[in-house]
C-alpha cells in the first residue's frame, strides 16, 4: 500500500498520458474505445483511492513526491495533493469516463484520434492540478491547450477554426505574461535565498515588496482570469463552446475553466498576498459584473449552447468572487469553501447541461430554442434530467449549486455587503434564463412535426446523464461529505494566506538544498530589482 | 604533429564554403550538401578541440552531430523528393511560397 | 415519529416519480394518499404525545449538514406548539386534498407526476415548518417554490401555464433574496442561524447591543421581503393570481392553505426579532392592510371563479400580515388556521364546480348550480359564511380579532383598522357575488354542459364536508376573552410568542385592558359592514348580473376597466422592469460583447495581420535572400556581442 500511495499521483498523470498515446496506434476502433474507457476508469479508480486515503484533517500536502528534474536550474518534479486540488482531481477523472461513454456509439470523423486527445487532455489537467513546481505546472498548463485546440479545430462546428484560434491565442497571451512573471519570481527567489528554485513550497516563502508583487500578480491574474473567464476576458468562451463538439464543451466547462480559478487559489493569492489585498476589490467587482453580465446576456441568447456558455460566465463570476473575499486579516473561509464547492458543482451541472444540449442536437441538428417546445411530452426522462441540471444550475436548495452560491454569498456579505447583494441578483437572473431554457425546450405546445417523433434518451445516454443528475442532488443533500475533505486546507489558506506555507503531511519533506545553510536575511531590499 | 590552429583554419574554410554554398546554389540538393559540409566543419572543430584539451566530450558530441546529420539528410532528401513531385523542380528560384 | 412524518411524503414522491411511472392513475393516487395518511396518522400520535408532555419545544437532532469555516447548519428539527399546529394543517388538509385530487384528476391518463409533485411539496413544506435553523427552513422555502412551479405548469402544453409557473418561481426568488440576506445578517451579527439559539440570545438578560438592534431593523426588513414574495404581498403578489393555471387541488393545497402562509409562519417563528424592529412592524402592518384592500377591490370585478378566490387569498394573507404587523402574531396564526380550512374548502368546492362545468371557469356562464349540486352548494355556503365573518363561523372570530388588534395599535392603528374594515366589506361583497353567480339564479351555460351537470362522486365531496365542519367550528377554539371565556388558542401559542425585554416598553399597549363596550362596538361595525356588503351583492347578483350592476359599471367605465385589468400592475412591471432589462441585455450582448470586446480582440489580431502584411512586401520568397538576411543579422549580432 505504501508503494501505491507514494506513486499514485504520478500514475494519475502519466497513465492517461501513456494510454492516450497508445490509442493512436491501435488499429481497431472498437478496441481503441475499450482501451480508452478502461484507461479512464482505472484513472478514476486511482483518484477514488486517493480520495479514500486522503486525510481531510490535515492541511498539508499528501501523497507527496519530489524528484530533481533539472537540478542546475532548481527545477523539480513535485506532485502533491491537498484539499484545494482533491475535489477537482476527482471531478476531472470522473468526467472522462462519462465522456467516453458518450462517444461509445459515435464513429464520426477520426474517432480514434478524438479518444486519444481526450486522454491527453485529462493527463494535462491532472498534471496542472497536481504540479507543485512552477515550471512543471506551466508545462502542463500549456500542454492542455494542444488537445483542446484540436478537439475544437477538427471536430467542431462551422466556425471552428476561428473559435479555436481565438481560444488558443487568448489563453496564450495570458500564459506568456505569466511565464515572464514566473521568471521574475525565479530571480527574486535567488536574490533572497541564494539558490534557484521553482518549487512552490520555496516560492511561498518569498517576501516580495509591493511594487514587485503588483505587476507579477497582475500577470498571473490575467492568465487565470482569461482561463476562468472573468469579465471582460470572456468572449472566447461562447465561441469556443458553440463551435466545440459536445464532449469538448463538457470538458471545457467541466474542468478546464476551473483551472483558472484553481490558479487563483493555488498561485495568485498565496504567492502575492499584499497585491491580492490591494486588487481584491477589483477582482470581486469584476466577478460581480461577470455574474450579472453573464446572466443578462444568457437571457437573450437564442442558441441553447450559447445560453449555457454565458451561464458559465455568470457562475464562474461567483467562484472568483468567493476566492478573493477578504474579511479582516484573512480570506473568508466560508466564501472560499463555497468557491471550491461551486467549482465542482458547476462542473457537474454545466457538464450535464452540455450533454443534454448535445442529446437534442444529435437528434435535431439544431440548437435554436425556437426550434423546440413541448419536448417533455415525447422525452419525459430527458425532461427529468434537464430539470435536475437546471435546478442545480440555478442553485436551488437541495442541489449542489445552492451550497456553493450560499457559502460564497455568505462570505462575501461579510467582506462587502453591497457586492453580495448585487451578486445575489445573479441568483435571481439565473432562475430567469435557466427557466427560459427549460420552458423553451420542454414546455409549451408540441407543434413542430420534427419534434413529435423524437426518441427519449437511450440507455447509453442515461448511463452518463444519471450519474451527473444523482451527483447534483447528492452534493446538495450531503455537502459535508465533500467539505470535510477540504476543510483543513481551506481554513489554513484562509487564515494564513499572508504568509502561507504548505507543509507535507504524512512523510518527511525533502529538504531544499540550501535551506538549512543560508539564513534568508540579506537580500530583502535587493529583491525588488528582480 | 600538426598544430590545432591548422585544423581550426581548415574547419573555418570548409564552414565558409558551406555557407557560400547555401547562399549561392540554386539547387536544393546542393544546398543540403552544403549544410552537411558546415556540419562536418563543426565536427572537425570538435575533434580538434577535444584532442587539444585532452577531453573526450568533443568526440562524443561529434557522434551526436553525425547521427543528427544523417537523420537530417534523410528527412531533407525526402522533402526534396516531395517538393519535386509537387512542383516538378528543385530550383529555389521557382519555390516562392514564402512570398508575402 | 417525526422522521416518519417528514419522510413518508418523500417516499411517496420517489415511488410515484421514479418507480411507478407506468402505473395506473389509481395506483398513483393510492400511493399519494397513502403517504399523506401515514404522515397524518403519525402527526396525530406525535401531537397527542407532545401535548400530553406539556407542549414544550423540543429539538430533534439530525445530521451535521453543512459546515464551512465558522458557519454551521445542522439538519435539526424543532417541534413546538407553532410547528405542531402547522404539521396538523399540512398533513391533515393535505390528506383531504390528496383524496379529493383523485377525483379531480380522473380524466388524466398518468397522474403519477401530479402525486409525485404534491407529495414532494408536502415534504418540502414539512421541512420548512420543522427546520430549526434558517437554512433548513430555506431548503423548504425554495423547495415549495419549486413544487409550486412544477404544479402550476402541470399542464405544460399550454404556453400560458408554463409562463405562469416561471413567473411564480421568479417572483418568489426576489423574495428569497431577501431571505438570504436576512440569513447572512443573522449569522454575521448573531453568530448563529438556529431559531432556538437566536431566541436565547434575544431574550437573554444582557440584551442586544445597539449595533445588533440596528441590524435587526435591516434583517427583519429583508425577511419581510421574503414574506412578500412567498405570501403574495404588495408589491410581489402578482404571481399568485397567475398561479391559478395549475390544477385546482394544487390551488387549494399550495396557493391557499399551506405554502402561501409560510410567510406568516416565518414572521411568527422569529416574532421576537420583529418586536425589536418597530419600523419594520409599521411597514409590515401597512403593507398587509394595503394588500388586503388592494386585492379585495380587484376580486370584485373578476369573473373567473378561481381568480376571485386567488385575489381573495391575497387579501386574506394581507389580513394575516397586518396582524403580525400590529404585534399580534397569535391572531395572524389563528386566521392562518381558519383560512386554511375555509379557503381549501372554497377552492375544492370551486374545483367541483369546474369539473361539473367541464373545465369552464367563467362565473358568467354558470348560475343555478344549487339544483344540480346540493352538497357542493351547502359546503360552499359554509365556506362563504366563514370567510365573510358571519357571526359564529370561524372567520368571524379570527378576522375580528385582527381588526380589533389593528384598532388598538397606536398612531396609525385607526387607519389600519379602517382599511381592514373596508376590505372586509369588499370581501363579503365579492364572496356573496361569487356564491350568487355560481349557485343561484338561472343556469346560463350552454345546452351540452347543462345536460351533464351532476354532483361529484363521494370521494370528492366527503373531504369537503370535513372541511366544512372545520370551517364552521374552528373559530370556537379562539373565542376572544370579551365573550367571557378564555382564548384557548392564544393560550396555546403563548409559549411561542416571546417579547424581548428591550422591546417590551414599545409594545406595552398589547397588554393594556380595553373596555368591552368598545370591542363590541368595533365588532358590531364589522358585522354591519358584512351585512351591507353581502346585501348589496345579493341585490345586484341574485339572478345573474342585474341591469343595475351593469349600469353601475357603465357609470364609471374607466374605473371599472382599471379594476378589471387588475390595476394594470403586470403591464406596469413589464414596461418598467422586465422590458428595459431585456433591452439592456440585448444591448450588452449585441453591442458590448460582439462589437466592443470582440472588436478589440479581433481588432488586435487584424492589426497584427496588417503590420505583417506591410512588412511582407520585403519578402520575395527567395530562399537565398532570406538566408542572406539571416546571415547578415547573425554577423551583426556576433559583432555586437564581441
Whether residue C235 is preceded by a cis peptide bond, meaning omega within 30 degrees of 0, is yes
Predicted local distance difference test score (pLDDT) of residue A158 = 86
Q: How far is CA B37 from the centre of its chain?
A: 4
* DSSP sequence for C367-383: --HHHH-HHHHHHHHHH
Read off the C-alpha cell for B13: 574554410
Predicted local distance difference test score (pLDDT) of residue A508 = 40
How high is the mean pLDDT of chain C?
A: 89
How high is the mean pLDDT of chain A?
A: 88
Predicted local distance difference test score (pLDDT) of residue C127 = 92
Predicted local distance difference test score (pLDDT) of residue A89 = 94
Whether pLDDT at C49 is above 60:
yes
At residue A526 the predicted structure's pLDDT band, cuts being 50, 70 and 90, is very low
Distance of residue C65 Cα from the nearest chain A Cα, in angstroms: 6
Read off the pLDDT of residues A34-92 as tens digits, 9 standing for 90 and up: 999 999 999 999 999 999 999 888 888 989 988 888 888 888 899 999 999 999 999 99
Predicted local distance difference test score (pLDDT) of residue C563 = 83
Whether pLDDT at C110 is above 80:
no
If you average pLDDT over residues A433-452, what whole number do you get? 88
Read off the pLDDT of residues B15-66 as tens digits, 9 standing for 90 and up: 999 999 988 888 889 999 999 999 999 999 999 999 888 888 889 999 999 9
Q: How far is CA A155 from the centre of its chain?
A: 22
CB A387 within 8 A of CB A398: no
List strand residue ranges (DSSP E) for C14-127, in order. Answer: 58-60, 66-68, 71-73, 77-79
Whether pLDDT at A441 is above 80:
yes
Predicted local distance difference test score (pLDDT) of residue B100 = 54
If you average pLDDT over residues C505-529, what whole number do you get? 87
Distance of residue A465 Cα from the nearest chain C Cα, in angstroms: 15
Q: Any chain C CB within 8 A of the CB of A337?
A: yes
Tell me the CA distances in angstroms from C357 to A72, C306, C365, C449, one per residue in order: 90, 13, 9, 6
Read off the pLDDT of residues C143-187 as tens digits, 9 standing for 90 and up: 999 999 999 988 888 888 889 999 999 999 999 999 999 999 999
If you average pLDDT over residues A119-134, what whole number do you get? 93
Read off the pLDDT of residues A364-395 as tens digits, 9 standing for 90 and up: 888 888 888 888 888 989 999 999 999 999 98
Distance of residue C66 Cα from the nearest chain A Cα, in angstroms: 5
CB C186 within 8 A of CB C134: yes
Question: Rounded distance, CA A162 to CA A157, Å?
Answer: 10
CB A294 within 8 A of CB A226: no
Distance of residue B81 Cα from the nearest chain C Cα, in angstroms: 18
Which of C627, C629, C634 has the highest number of chain B CBs within 10 A, making it the mutation to test binding with B? C627
Contact residues on chain A for C188, CB-CB shorter than 8 A: 413-414
Question: Which residues of A, range 495-514, sit inside 8 Å of C by Cβ?
Answer: none
Which residue among B24, B31, B100 places its CB closest to the CB of C619?
B100
Predicted local distance difference test score (pLDDT) of residue C619 = 64
Q: Any chain B CB within 8 A of the CB of C623?
A: yes
Greatest mean pLDDT range, A88-102, C389-403, C465-479: A88-102
Other Cβ atoms less than 10 A from the Cβ of C458: the count is 11
Task: List all residues 6 or more positions away from C408 whose beta carbon is below 8 Å from its beta carbon.
Answer: C326, C509, C510, C512, C514
Whether pLDDT at A425 is above 50:
yes
Question: Rounded distance, CA A357 to CA A438, Å?
Answer: 11
Read off the C-alpha cell for C196: 432556538
Read off the C-alpha cell for A292: 450579472
Q: Any chain C CB within 8 A of the CB of A522?
A: no
Greatest mean pLDDT range, A195-209, B33-47, C354-368, C447-461: B33-47
At residue C21 the predicted structure's pLDDT band, cuts being 50, 70 and 90, is confident
Question: Rounded distance, CA B59 to CA B54, Å?
Answer: 10
If you average pLDDT over residues A223-231, what whole number do you get? 91
Contact residues on chain B for C627, CB-CB shorter than 8 A: 22-23
Whether pLDDT at A527 is above 50:
no
Distance of residue C631 Cα from the nearest chain B Cα, in angstroms: 9
At residue A402 the predicted structure's pLDDT band, cuts being 50, 70 and 90, is very high
C588/A293 touch (CB, cutoff 8 Å), yes or no: yes
Q: How far is CA A167 from the centre of its chain?
A: 16
- Mapped onto helix, strand or coil, the DSSP state of residue A500 is coil
Chains C, B in contact, 3 or more Cβ pairs below 8 Å: yes
Contact residues on chain A for C164, CB-CB shorter than 8 A: none
If you average pLDDT over residues A466-476, what whole number do you get? 94
Predicted local distance difference test score (pLDDT) of residue A511 = 38
C601/A170 touch (CB, cutoff 8 Å), yes or no: yes
Whether pLDDT at A273 is above 60:
yes
Pairing of strands A75-81, A62-70: antiparallel
Smallest CA-to-CA distance from A372 within A425, A437, A325 is with A437
Read off the C-alpha cell for C258: 399551506
Which of B22, B31, B32, B83 has the highest number of chain C CBs within 10 A, making it the mutation to test binding with C? B22
Contact residues on chain C for A170, CB-CB shorter than 8 A: 601
Predicted local distance difference test score (pLDDT) of residue A517 = 39
Distance of residue B28 Cα from the nearest chain C Cα, in angstroms: 10
Interface predicted TM-score (ipTM): 0.90
Read off the pLDDT of residues A488-515 as tens digits, 9 standing for 90 and up: 999 999 988 888 888 887 554 443 443 4
Q: Any chain C CB within 8 A of the CB of A411?
A: yes
Question: Quick one: closest CA in B to C614, which residue?
Answer: B100
Smallest CA-to-CA distance from C226 within C294, C284, C275, C278 is with C284
Chains that touch B (3 or more CB pairs under 8 A): C
Whether pLDDT at C497 is above 70:
yes
Single pTM value for the model: 0.88
Predicted local distance difference test score (pLDDT) of residue A513 = 42
Chain B residues with CB-CB distance to C under 8 A? 19, 22-24, 26, 31, 92-93, 95-100
Q: State what percent of residues in chain A have pLDDT above 90.
A: 59
Whether pLDDT at A120 is above 90:
yes
If you average pLDDT over residues C342-349, what whole number do you get? 93
Question: Rounded distance, CA C389 to CA B68, Å?
Answer: 102
Chains that touch A (3 or more CB pairs under 8 A): C
A445/C157 touch (CB, cutoff 8 Å), yes or no: yes
If you average pLDDT over residues B60-73, what whole number do you get? 92
Question: Rounded distance, CA C640 to CA C642, Å?
Answer: 6
Contact residues on chain C for B92, CB-CB shorter than 8 A: 622-624
Question: Which residues of A, range 169-188, sit inside 8 Å of C by Cβ?
Answer: 169-170
Question: Rounded distance, CA B14 to CA A307, Å?
Answer: 66
Least confident of B47-56, C206-215, C341-350, C607-616: C607-616
Read off the pLDDT of residues C602-637 as tens digits, 9 standing for 90 and up: 888 888 888 887 777 666 667 777 778 888 898 899
Chains C, A in contact, 3 or more Cβ pairs below 8 Å: yes
Predicted local distance difference test score (pLDDT) of residue B99 = 63
If you average pLDDT over residues A302-311, what whole number do you get? 92
Question: Which residues of A, range 206-265, sit inside 8 Å of C by Cβ?
Answer: 232, 234-236, 238
Read off the pLDDT of residues C87-96 as tens digits, 9 standing for 90 and up: 999 999 999 9
C601/A235 touch (CB, cutoff 8 Å), yes or no: yes
Instruction: Give the residues across from A199 on adjacent strands.
Output: A133
B97/C618 touch (CB, cutoff 8 Å), yes or no: no
Contact residues on chain B for C632, CB-CB shorter than 8 A: none
Question: Rounded distance, CA A20 to CA A43, Å?
Answer: 12
C619/B92 touch (CB, cutoff 8 Å), yes or no: no
Cα-flanking dihedrals φ and ψ of residue A368, to 5°?
-70, 130
Distance of residue C641 Cα from the nearest chain B Cα, in angstroms: 20
Amino acid at each position: 500500500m505504501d508503494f501505491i500511495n507514494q506513486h499514485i499521483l504520478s500514475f494519475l498523470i502519466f497513465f492517461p498520458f501513456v494510454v492516450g498515446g497508445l490509442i493512436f496506434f491501435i488499429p481497431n476502433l472498437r478496441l481503441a474505445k475499450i482501451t480508452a474507457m478502461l484507461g479512464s476508469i482505472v484513472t478514476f479508480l486511482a483518484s477514488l483511492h486517493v480520495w479514500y486515503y486522503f486525510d481531510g484533517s490535515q492541511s498539508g500536502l499528501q501523497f507527496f513526491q519530489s524528484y530533481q528534474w533539472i537540478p542546475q536550474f532548481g527545477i523539480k518534479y513535485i506532485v502533491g495533493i491537498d484539499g484545494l486540488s482533491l475535489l477537482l482531481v476527482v471531478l476531472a477523472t470522473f468526467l472522462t469516463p462519462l465522456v467516453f461513454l458518450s462517444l461509445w456509439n459515435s464513429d464520426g470523423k477520426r474517432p480514434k484520434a478524438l479518444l486519444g486527445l481526450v486522454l491527453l487532455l485529462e493527463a494535462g489537467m491532472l498534471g496542472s492540478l497536481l504540479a507543485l513546481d512552477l515550471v512543471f505546472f506551466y508545462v502542463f498548463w500549456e500542454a492542455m491547450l494542444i488537445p483542446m485546440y484540436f478537439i475544437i479545430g477538427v471536430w467542431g462546428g462551422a466556425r471552428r477554426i476561428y473559435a479555436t484560434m481565438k481560444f488558443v491565442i487568448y489563453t496564450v497571451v495570458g500564459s506568456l505574461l505569466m511565464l515572464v512573471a514566473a521568471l521574475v519570481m525565479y530571480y527574486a527567489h535567488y536574490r533572497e535565498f541564494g539558490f534557484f528554485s521553482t518549487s512552490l513550497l520555496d516560492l511561498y516563502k518569498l517576501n516580495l515588496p509591493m511594487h514587485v508583487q503588483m505587476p507579477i500578480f497582475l500577470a498571473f491574474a490575467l492568465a487565470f482570469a482569461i482561463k476562468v473567464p472573468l469579465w471582460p476576458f470572456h468572449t472566447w468562451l461562447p465561441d469556443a463552446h458553440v463551435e466545440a463538439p459536445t464532449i469538448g464543451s463538457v470538458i471545457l466547462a467541466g474542468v478546464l475553466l476551473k483551472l483558472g480559478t484553481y490558479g487563483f487559489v493555488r498561485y495568485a493569492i498565496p504567492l502575492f498576498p499584499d497585491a491580492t489585498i490591494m486588487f481584491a476589490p477589483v477582482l470581486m467587482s469584476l466577478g460581480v459584473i461577470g455574474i450579472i453580465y453573464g446572466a443578462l446576456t444568457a437571457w437573450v441568447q437564442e442558441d441553447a449552447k450559447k445560453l449555457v456558455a454565458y451561464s458559465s460566465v455568470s457562475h464562474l463570476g461567483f467562484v472568483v468572487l468567493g476566492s478573493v473575499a477578504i474579511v479582516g486579516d484573512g480570506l473568508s473561509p466560508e466564501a472560499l469553501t463555497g468557491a471550491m464547492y461551486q467549482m465542482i458543482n458547476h462542473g457537474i451541472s454545466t457538464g450535464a447541461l452540455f450533454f443534454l444540449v448535445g442529446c437534442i442536437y444529435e437528434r435535431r441538428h439544431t440548437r435554436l430554442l425556437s426550434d423546440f417546445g413541448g419536448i417533455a411530452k415525447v422525452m419525459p426522462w430527458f425532461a427529468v434530467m434537464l430539470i435536475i441540471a437546471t435546478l442545480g444550475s440555478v442553485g436551488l436548495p437541495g442541489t449542489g449549486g445552492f451550497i456553493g452560491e450560499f457559502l460564497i454569498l455568505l462570505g462575501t456579505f461579510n467582506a462587502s455587503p453591497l457586492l453580495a447583494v448585487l451578486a445575489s441578483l445573479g441568483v435571481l437572473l439565473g432562475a430567469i434564463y435557466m427557466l427560459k431554457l427549460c420552458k423553451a425546450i420542454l414546455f409549451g405546445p408540441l407543434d413542430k412535426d420534427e419534434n413529435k417523433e423524437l426518441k427519449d434518451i437511450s440507455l447509453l445516454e442515461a448511463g452518463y446523464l444519471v450519474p451527473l443528475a444523482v451527483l447534483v442532488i447528492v452534493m446538495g443533500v450531503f455537502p459535508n461529505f465533500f467539505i470535510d475533505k477540504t476543510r483543513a486546507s481551506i481554513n489554513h489558506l484562509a487564515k494564513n494566506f499572508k504568509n502561507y506555507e504548505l507543509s507535507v503531511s504524512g512523510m518527511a519533506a525533502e529538504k531544499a538544498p540550501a535551506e538549512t545553510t543560508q539564513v534568508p536575511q540579506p537580500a530583502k531590499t535587493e529583491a525588488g530589482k528582480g | 604533429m600538426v598544430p590545432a590552429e591548422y585544423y581550426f583554419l581548415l574547419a573555418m574554410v570548409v564552414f565558409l564554403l558551406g555557407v557560400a554554398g547555401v547562399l549561392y546554389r540554386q539547387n536544393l540538393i546542393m544546398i543540403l550538401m552544403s549544410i552537411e559540409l558546415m556540419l562536418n566543419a563543426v565536427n572537425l572543430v570538435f575533434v580538434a578541440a577535444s584532442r587539444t584539451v585532452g577531453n573526450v566530450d568533443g568526440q562524443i558530441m561529434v557522434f551526436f552531430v553525425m547521427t543528427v546529420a544523417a537523420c537530417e539528410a534523410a528527412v531533407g532528401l525526402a522533402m526534396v523528393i516531395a517538393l519535386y513531385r509537387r512542383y516538378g523542380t528543385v530550383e529555389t528560384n521557382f519555390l516562392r511560397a514564402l512570398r508575402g | 415519529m417525526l422522521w416518519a412524518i417528514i419522510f413518508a411524503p418523500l417516499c411517496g414522491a420517489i415511488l410515484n416519480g421514479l418507480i411507478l411511472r407506468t402505473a395506473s392513475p389509481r395506483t398513483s393516487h393510492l400511493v399519494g394518499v397513502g403517504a399523506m395518511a401515514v404522515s397524518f396518522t403519525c402527526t396525530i400520535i406525535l401531537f397527542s404525545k407532545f401535548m400530553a408532555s406539556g407542549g414544550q419545544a423540543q429539538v430533534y437532532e439530525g445530521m451535521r449538514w453543512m459546515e464551512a469555516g465558522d458557519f454551521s447548519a445542522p439538519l435539526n428539527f424543532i417541534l413546538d406548539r407553532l410547528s405542531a399546529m402547522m404539521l396538523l394543517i399540512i398533513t391533515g388538509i393535505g390528506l383531504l386534498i390528496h383524496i379529493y385530487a383523485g377525483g379531480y384528476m380522473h380524466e388524466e391518463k398518468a397522474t403519477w407526476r401530479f402525486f409525485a409533485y404534491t407529495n414532494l411539496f408536502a415534504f418540502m413544506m414539512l421541512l420548512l415548518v420543522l427546520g430549526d435553523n434558517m437554512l433548513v427552513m430555506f431548503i423548504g422555502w425554495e423547495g415549495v417554490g419549486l413544487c409550486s412551479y412544477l404544479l402550476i405548469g402541470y399542464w405544460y402544453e399550454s404556453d400560458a401555464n408554463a409562463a405562469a409557473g416561471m413567473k411564480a418561481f421568479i417572483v418568489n426568488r426576489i423574495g428569497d433574496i431577501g431571505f438570504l440576506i436576512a440569513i447572512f445578517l443573522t449569522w454575521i451579527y448573531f453568530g448563529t442561524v438556529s431559531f432556538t439559539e437566536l431566541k436565547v440570545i434575544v431574550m437573554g438578560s444582557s440584551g442586544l447591543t445597539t449595533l445588533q438592534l440596528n441590524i435587526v431593523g435591516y434583517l427583519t426588513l429583508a425577511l419581510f421581503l421574503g414574506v412578500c414574495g412567498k405570501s403574495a404581498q404588495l408589491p410581489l403578489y402578482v404571481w399568485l393570481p397567475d398561479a391559478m393555471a395549475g390544477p385546482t387541488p394544487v390551488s387549494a393545497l399550495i396557493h391557499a392553505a399551506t405554502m402561501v402562509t409560510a410567510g406568516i409562519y416565518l414572521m411568527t417563528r422569529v416574532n421576537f426579532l420583529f418586536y425589536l424592529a418597530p419600523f419594520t412592524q409599521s411597514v409590515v402592518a401597512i403593507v398587509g392592510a394595503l394588500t388586503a384592500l388592494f386585492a379585495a377591490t380587484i376580486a370584485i370585478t373578476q369573473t373567473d371563479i378561481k381568480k376571485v378566490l386567488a385575489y381573495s387569498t391575497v387579501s386574506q394573507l394581507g389580513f394575516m400580515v397586518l396582524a403580525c404587523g400590529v404585534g399580534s402574531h397569535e391572531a395572524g396564526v389563528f386566521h392562518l388556521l381558519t383560512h386554511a380550512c375555509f379557503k381549501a374548502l372554497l377552492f375544492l368546492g370551486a374545483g367541483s364546480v369546474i369539473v361539473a362545468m367541464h373545465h369552464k371557469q367563467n362565473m358568467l356562464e354558470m348560475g343555478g348550480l344549487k339544483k344540480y349540486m346540493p352538497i357542493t352548494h351547502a359546503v360552499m355556503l359554509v365556506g362563504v359564511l366563514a370567510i365573510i365573518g358571519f357571526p359564529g363561523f370561524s372567520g368571524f372570530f379570527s378576522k375580528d380579532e385582527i381588526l380589533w388588534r389593528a384598532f388598538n395599535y397606536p398612531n396609525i392603528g385607526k387607519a389600519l383598522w379602517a382599511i381592514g374594515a373596508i376590505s372586509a366589506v369588499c370581501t363579503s361583497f365579492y364572496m356573496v357575488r361569487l356564491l350568487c353567480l355560481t349557485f343561484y339564479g338561472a343556469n346560463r351555460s350552454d345546452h351540452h354542459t347543462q345536460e351533464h351537470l351532476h354532483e361529484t362522486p363521494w370521494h370528492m365531496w366527503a373531504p369537503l364536508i370535513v372541511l366544512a365542519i372545520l370551517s364552521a367550528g374552528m373559530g370556537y377554539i379562539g373565542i376572544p376573552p370579551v365573550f367571557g371565556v378564555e382564548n384557548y388558542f392564544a393560550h396555546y401559542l403563548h409559549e411561542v410568542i416571546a417579547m424581548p425585554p428591550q422591546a417590551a416598553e414599545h409594545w406595552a399597549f398589547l397588554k393594556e385592558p380595553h373596555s368591552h363596550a368598545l370591542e363590541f362596538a368595533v365588532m358590531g361595525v364589522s358585522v354591519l359592514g358584512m351585512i351591507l356588503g353581502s346585501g348589496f351583492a345579493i341585490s345586484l347578483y341574485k339572478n345573474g348580473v342585474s341591469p343595475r350592476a351593469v349600469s353601475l359599471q357603465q357609470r364609471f367605465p374607466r374605473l371599472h376597466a382599471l379594476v378589471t385589468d387588475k390595476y394594470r400592475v403586470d403591464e406596469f412591471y413589464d414596461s418598467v422592469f422586465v422590458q428595459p432589462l431585456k433591452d439592456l441585455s440585448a444591448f450588452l450582448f449585441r453591442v458590448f460583447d460582439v462589437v466592443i470586446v470582440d472588436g478589440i480582440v479581433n481588432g488586435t489580431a487584424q492589426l497584427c495581420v496588417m503590420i505583417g502584411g506591410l512588412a511582407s512586401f520585403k519578402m520575395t520568397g527567395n530562399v537565398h535572400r532570406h538566408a542572406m538576411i539571416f546571415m547578415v543579422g547573425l554577423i551583426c549580432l556576433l559583432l555586437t556581442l564581441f
